[in-house]
Amino acid sequence: MSQSITVAMAQLAPIWLNKSATLKKAKDAMIEAANQQAQLIVFGEGFLPGYPFWLALTQGAKWELPVNKSLHAHYTKQSVQIEAGDLEEICALAKELKLAVYLGLIERAKNRGGHSLYCSLVYINEKGLINSVHRKLQPTYDERLTWAPGDGHGLKVHELNGFTLGGLNCWENWMPLPRAALYAQGENLHVAVWPGGDHNTKDITRFVARESRSFMVSVSSLMRKTDFSADTPYIEELLGNAPDILANGGSAIAGPNGEWLVPPIIEKEGVFCHTLELDRVYEERQNFDPVGHYARPDVTQLSINRERQTTLKIEDNDK
């Protein structure tokens, strides 16, 4: 019998910049996914507690602007510190439901001092264990004004129901070498998370599936003018500058031949499930395998540094 996996795409709007309320929304989505017999649920980029949309609405690059400083401070206080137990409830629920989770979040990394922010993609397995925390290698354009660049520590794959999963954040999916690093570890189900927008997903979802001969699952968030939290600093200025729709979704799934299994879902909020059959990967790898029979490692090779980067390394000789 062919091995299969049911994937739930959580195309949701966060309770923007509210960590506790968005955590509750994530847990509700996990329960809904489990009720639909899903084994994996995926949330969008930075879903917890939300994407920094203000940067495009407040002259984000202007020096010493109070609105940007205030919003960044608010964002920092609502971000996730894994070491402090912020994901314990998610992990416990994943274990209870036997549901694996890819969760996009904003991480306030304790091992980097606890003040800078990283756009991270966390994988929690069906036993409720955090298996990897991938910090986005290169924030995109205005994201660099609030997110720090990550490292290769989280460029790892995970086994689930016979599938080998890997994931990247947003425009990292356009970076050939990180993609290849996951392919070479046996990835056959590639997860891409986005803040939202079919302009991101409509082309690359099919392209990566076709390139890798893998399933490609793109999951986006939603963000509408009505989703701004009333207690956000400078809320009136943000609402005055914001369009009605900032992120229209676009979650989608392509099969290993690059054809749509689930075309981009636009402007709909929900938990959308689809079942994938592993045999389709084997069928498409017959004529092309980018890291196997169609690779030439004697000509080109890729190296990867998976050391977690930190400013301070302490060597104590106290006895």
The string of pLDDT tens digits covering residues 45-99 is 999 999 999 999 999 999 999 999 999 999 999 999 999 999 999 999 999 999 9
Residue 295 lies in a domain: no
Residue 279 lies in a domain: yes
Q: To the nearest whole number, what is the mean pLDDT of the chain?
A: 96
- CATH assignment at residue 118: 3.60.110.10
pTM for the predicted model, two decimal places: 0.96
Strands (E), 205-266: 215-220, 222-224, 245-254, 260-266
Residue 309 lies in a domain: no
Contact 144, 170 (CB under 8 A): no
Structure tokens at 145: 């004004």
Residue 305 lies in a domain: no
Residue 33 lies in a domain: yes
Strands (E), 49-171: 100-108, 117-124, 130-135, 158-160, 163-169
Average pLDDT over residues 104-111: 95
The Cα 196–Cα 47 span in angstroms is 10
| Per-residue pLDDT at 313 | 85
The string of pLDDT tens digits covering residues 174-187 is 999 999 999 999 99
> Is pLDDT of 223 > 70?
yes
- Provide the domain limits for residue 190: 4-284
Q: How many domains does the chain have?
A: 1
| Per-residue pLDDT at 175 | 97
| Per-residue pLDDT at 116 | 96
**Is 14 in a helix, a strand, or coil?**
coil
Q: How far is CA 258 from CA 11, 21, 23, in A?
A: 22, 37, 34
> Is pLDDT of 317 > 90?
no
Residue 311 lies in a domain: no
